[in-house]
Amino acid sequence: MEASCFEKIFGRCSELHCFAPGRVNLIGEHTDYNGGLVLPCAIDKGIHCAAARRTDLKLQFYSDSYPQDGVRVYHSDRPDLQHCWADYPFSVILALQGFGYQPASGCDFFFGSDLPEGAGLSSSAAVEVVTAFVLHELFFPFLSRQEMAVICQFAENRFIGVNCGIMDQFAVAMGKENCALLLDAHTLQHEYVPLKNAALVIVNSGVKHSLAASAYNQRRQECEYACRELNVSALCSLSPEEFERKKQSITSSLSRRRAFHAVTENQRVKQAAEALKRQDYREMGRLMRESHISLRDQYEVSCEELDLLAEAAWEIPGVYGARMTGGGFGGCTVNLMEPGTVSDFTGSISSAYLKKQGREPAVYPVSVSSGVTRCEE
Ligand code: ADP
Ligand code: MG
Supply the pLDDT for residue 185: 92
Number of helices (H) and strands (E), helices first, in the chain?
A: 11, 13
Tens-digit pLDDT profile for residues 165-194: 899 999 999 999 999 999 999 999 999 999
What is the mean pLDDT of the segment spanning 104-123? 94
Tens-digit pLDDT profile for residues 300-330: 999 999 999 999 999 999 999 999 999 899 9
Q: Check whether 377 has a pLDDT greater than 80.
A: no
Q: How far is the CA of 168 from the centre of ligand 2 (A)?
A: 7
| Percent of the chain topping pLDDT 70 | 100
For residue 327, which ligand has an atom nearest its CA? 1
Q: Given pLDDT bands bounded at 50, 70 and 90, which one contains residue 120?
A: confident
The span from the CA of 149 to the CA of 194, in Å, is 22
Give yes or no: 184 in active site.
no
The span from the CA of 253 to the CA of 217, in Å, is 18
Q: Check whether 210 has a pLDDT greater than 90.
A: no
Q: How far is the CA of 355 from the centre of ligand 2 (A)?
A: 30
Q: Given pLDDT bands bounded at 50, 70 and 90, which one contains residue 211?
A: confident
The reply to whether ligand 1 has any atom less than 6 angstroms from the CB of 123 is yes
Q: Given pLDDT bands bounded at 50, 70 and 90, which one contains residue 163?
A: confident
Q: Given pLDDT bands bounded at 50, 70 and 90, which one contains residue 376?
A: confident
Helix (H, G, I), strand (E, B) or coil at 168: helix
Identify the sign of the CA torsion 249, 250, 251, 257. negative
The span from the CA of 145 to the CA of 245, in Å, is 40
The reply to whether ligand 1 has any atom less than 6 angstroms from the CB of 240 is no
For residue 25, which ligand has an atom nearest its CA? 1
Q: How far is the CA of 3 from the centre of ligand 1 (A)?
A: 22
| Percent of the chain topping pLDDT 90 | 93
Our mutation pick for probing the ligand 1 site, out of 92, 124, 159, 329, counting the most ligand atoms within 8 A of Cβ, is 124
Supply the pLDDT for residue 49: 98
What is the mean pLDDT of the segment spanning 238-263? 97
Measured from the Cα of 120, ligand 1's closest atom is 2
Our mutation pick for probing the ligand 1 site, out of 9, 19, 123, 205, counting the most ligand atoms within 8 A of Cβ, is 123
For residue 167, which ligand has an atom nearest its CA? 2
What is the mean pLDDT of the segment spanning 61-88? 97
Q: How many of the other CB atoms lie within 10 Å of CB of 192?
A: 15
Contact 324, 29 (CB under 8 A): yes
Our mutation pick for probing the ligand 1 site, out of 47, 68, 117, counting the most ligand atoms within 8 A of Cβ, is 117
The reply to whether ligand 1 has any atom less than 6 angstroms from the CB of 161 is no
The span from the CA of 125 to the CA of 131, in Å, is 10
What is the mean pLDDT of the segment spanning 205-230? 90
Supply the pLDDT for residue 167: 95
Task: Give strand pairing partners of 325.
Answer: 332
**253: exposed, middle or buried (C-beta count within 10 Å: 0-12, 13-18, 19+)?**
exposed
The reply to whether ligand 1 has any atom less than 6 angstroms from the CB of 165 is no
Tens-digit pLDDT profile for residues 190-200: 999 999 999 99
Task: Give strand pairing partners of 110.
Answer: 50, 62
Residue 64 backbone dihedrals phi, psi, to 5 degrees = -75, 0
Average pLDDT of the chain, as a whole number: 96
Supply the pLDDT for residue 209: 78
Supply the pLDDT for residue 1: 78
Supply the pLDDT for residue 2: 80
What is the mean pLDDT of the segment spanning 269-282? 98
* Short-list 14, 39, 47, 127, CA closest to 321: 39
Q: How many of the other CB atoms lie within 10 Å of CB of 26?
A: 30
* Short-list 325, 362, 369, CA closest to 120: 325
Q: How far is the CA of 126 from the centre of ligand 1 (A)?
A: 8
* Short-list 328, 318, 267, 273, CA closest to 295: 328
Tens-digit pLDDT profile for residues 280-300: 999 999 999 999 999 999 999
Supply the pLDDT for residue 119: 87
Tens-digit pLDDT profile for residues 24-52: 999 999 999 999 999 999 999 999 999 99
Contact 236, 262 (CB under 8 A): yes
Task: Give strand pairing partners of 199.
Answer: 337
Q: Given pLDDT bands bounded at 50, 70 and 90, which one contains residue 122?
A: very high
Supply the pLDDT for residue 234: 96
Q: Which among 87, 108, 168, 184 is annotated as catalytic? A: 168
The span from the CA of 272 to the CA of 181, in Å, is 12
The reply to whether ligand 1 has any atom less than 6 angstroms from the CB of 121 is yes
Helical residues (DSSP H) of the chain, grouped into ranges: 2-10, 87-98, 123-138, 145-155, 167-174, 211-230, 240-246, 253-277, 281-297, 304-314, 342-357
The reply to whether ligand 1 has any atom less than 6 angstroms from the CB of 369 is no
Supply the pLDDT for residue 61: 98
Sorted by where each starts, the structural domains of the chain and their CATH numbers stand as 2-194+370-374 (3.30.230.10)
Q: Check whether 124 has a pLDDT greater than 90.
A: yes
